[in-house]
Amino acid sequence: MAQTSQPNNERSAGPRETQHGTVRSAESLNLELSVLGTSMLHQGAASVAVRVLGNMWDTAFTDHRLDVAQLIREYVQASKMPDHSTIARQIPDRTAEIQAAITYVEDPAVIENRAEQLLFAAKRRLLANTAETCERASGGNIDVDIAINQTFGELANIYSGGVKIDTADWSEKLLEDYDRREAQGLELTGAPTGLPKIDQATSGLQYGETHVLAARTGHGKSAMAVNYIAPAAARPPYEVPVLVIGHEMSSRQYRLRMACADAGVHYSIASAARLRLKTKERLQESIKKLSQLPISIIEPQTGDPTELMAHVMAWRHSVGRQGLVIVDHLQNEAITGFRGQRPEMFAQISAQWKACMQATDCAGLLIAQLNRAAAGQPPKLENLRDSGAIEQDAMSVMLLYRAGQEDPEKPANCAQVGLAKNREGSLAYEHMSFEGYCMHFRPWKPDDSERTATEMQQSEKNIHENQKKPEE
């Protein structure tokens, strides 16, 4: 592997004529080589560059470097690592460009910054083309109407980020998707949540989109996402691969909580390894059963979303198909070096997760915190903490509420999951039963009875005594 180095103008071959007819600066050429080299030598770097440059990708790279860049993007879209050796084998006539890019490889931590600089350079080049066209029209060297059309096209390209309109193969893809789901007998088009009314309204958590599950502290949003929704998605017939990004606790704690919820075992006793024999056997059976489900959990070393999304890209490549990514929870993340206001940062984080889901074609379930205004009452969309952009970016928003969590006179074992936003369908409400000792949710049954927090504590005390191994 080549040694990391900083781009410098001395190694550049100097300005060259480009496909757009304008001269590129040495700095811009170095940026192209840096982004390409870093993308080919560092896991996850290519996906970050593709996300930042977006539909300006083809515009950002020039000459024969564009061939290398296009192949790198194809690898990212297929959730594969664009290794330089593999790229070179596929396009051997571009070996010189690949080797040049390798000499400019940098630390992957700067790839987002380099891609942003390259994006700016590409837009600046388009703007220079516009100025040149206007100058030629003013001198009578080009028809004015042609100049106006060309200028409008260039400016629109800058404004839109080079967005492309799907006009070619949409019908074929749509029919293929329909035939696939019909053959598999799958009613939902997205990842199931296990919440019947919400799944019916949303047709599942749609792939390529972000979705939000929000609640106040202590209402059970992590338990709902990891202990209930994750296994529901991973079980047959859908068997959706699930990745939990666990900011809240260790992988062991997540796994044990899932098993306790499935087995109806008191979590604190299981944590202390003090279970009676029959209860222990029931827990062991649940652990074995859950181990067969395609659920992965990572313990991130940082809350920087760029690093987390690199993990998602690698996981997506390993499972080889659409999946569900659960982020628990969003407010634990922060952009390294960000100097703006907190709402601005979370607006950017939300946009990054949306772009990541689009790039991987996965469904993202972002666990979010509600602000204090939601205390003591059923929550609303405006109660989402830190940024309205979280709600705006999401395709659907679910709000979890347990009235008894904050009011001792109200039932604490009765939970309401409200589908407060559904971009492509109706709203819905799901009533759930909650058992605190094992952090287990299930659909509310007609014969269930409401219990206050005090009544739940008394019931759980009896369960504690029945499941705990007697003191020796």
pLDDT digits (tens, 9 = 90+) for 145-197: 776 666 665 565 555 444 444 545 667 767 777 787 777 777 899 999 999 99
According to the model, what pLDDT value does residue 76 have? 83
According to the model, what pLDDT value does residue 44 have? 82
Of the pLDDT bands very low, low, confident and very high (cuts 50, 70, 90), residue 20 is very low
Point out which residues pair with 446 in neighbouring strands: none
Q: Lowest mean pLDDT: which of 5-14, 32-41, 322-331?
A: 5-14
Does residue 18 surpass a pLDDT of 50? no
Rounded Cα distance between 89 and 368, Å, is: 45
Of the pLDDT bands very low, low, confident and very high (cuts 50, 70, 90), residue 341 is confident
Does residue 21 surpass a pLDDT of 70? no
What is the token pair recorded at 170? Answer: 């949409």
Identify which of 94, 104, 48, 55 has the alpha carbon closest to the alpha carbon of residue 71.
94
End-to-end distance of the chain based on CA atoms, in angstroms? 60
According to the model, what pLDDT value does residue 141 have? 75
Phi, psi of 296 (to 5 degrees): -115, 145
Alpha helices in 80-229 (DSSP H): 84-90, 95-102, 111-138, 144-160, 170-184, 196-202, 221-222
According to the model, what pLDDT value does residue 310 have? 82
Rounded Cα distance between 138 and 87, Å, is: 45
Does residue 15 surpass a pLDDT of 50? no
What torsion, rounded to 10 degrees, do the Cα atoms 112, 118, 124, 126 define? Answer: -120
H or E stretch covering 466: helix 453-467
> Is residue 447 exposed (0-12), middle (13-18) or buried (19+ Cβ within 10 Å)?
exposed
How many CB atoms lie under 10 A from the CB of residue 350? 27
According to the model, what pLDDT value does residue 228 have? 95
Identify which of 371, 322, 370, 327 has the alpha carbon closest to the alpha carbon of residue 349.
327
According to the model, what pLDDT value does residue 155 have? 61
According to the model, what pLDDT value does residue 14 have? 37
Q: State the residue for tokens 């100058």.
A: 135
pLDDT tens digits, residue range 346-402? 888 998 899 889 888 899 999 999 988 878 888 999 888 766 788 999 999 999 999
What average pLDDT does range 90-107 have in this prediction?
A: 92
Nearest 5°: CA angle at 335, between 333 and 336? Answer: 120
**Mapped to the 3 state alphabet, what secondary structure does 156-191 carry?**
HHHHHCCCCCCCCCHHHHHHHHHHHHHHHCCCCCCE
Rounded Cα distance between 386 and 333, Å, is: 12
Rounded Cα distance between 40 and 102, Å, is: 8
According to the model, what pLDDT value does residue 153 have? 59
Cα Rg, the chain, nearest whole Å: 26
How many CB atoms lie under 10 A from the CB of residue 235? 17
Compute CA 81 distance to the chain's CA centroid, rounded to the nearest angstrom. 18
Q: Name which residue leads in pLDDT, 188 or 1.
A: 188
According to the model, what pLDDT value does residue 255 have? 95
H or E stretch covering 398: strand 396-401
**What string of DSSP letters covers 280-295?**
HHHHHHHHHHHHTS-E
Query: Quick check: helix, strand or coil at residue 130?
Result: helix
- Global confidence as pTM: 0.68
What average pLDDT does range 192-220 have in this prediction?
A: 95
Does residue 344 surpass a pLDDT of 60? yes
According to the model, what pLDDT value does residue 226 have? 94
What torsion, rounded to 10 degrees, do the Cα atoms 429, 431, 435, 440 define? Answer: -50
What is the token pair recorded at 272? Answer: 């202390």
According to the model, what pLDDT value does residue 151 have? 65
Of the pLDDT bands very low, low, confident and very high (cuts 50, 70, 90), residue 126 is confident
Rounded Cα distance between 295 and 255, Å, is: 10
Does residue 420 surpass a pLDDT of 60? yes
According to the model, what pLDDT value does residue 387 have? 64
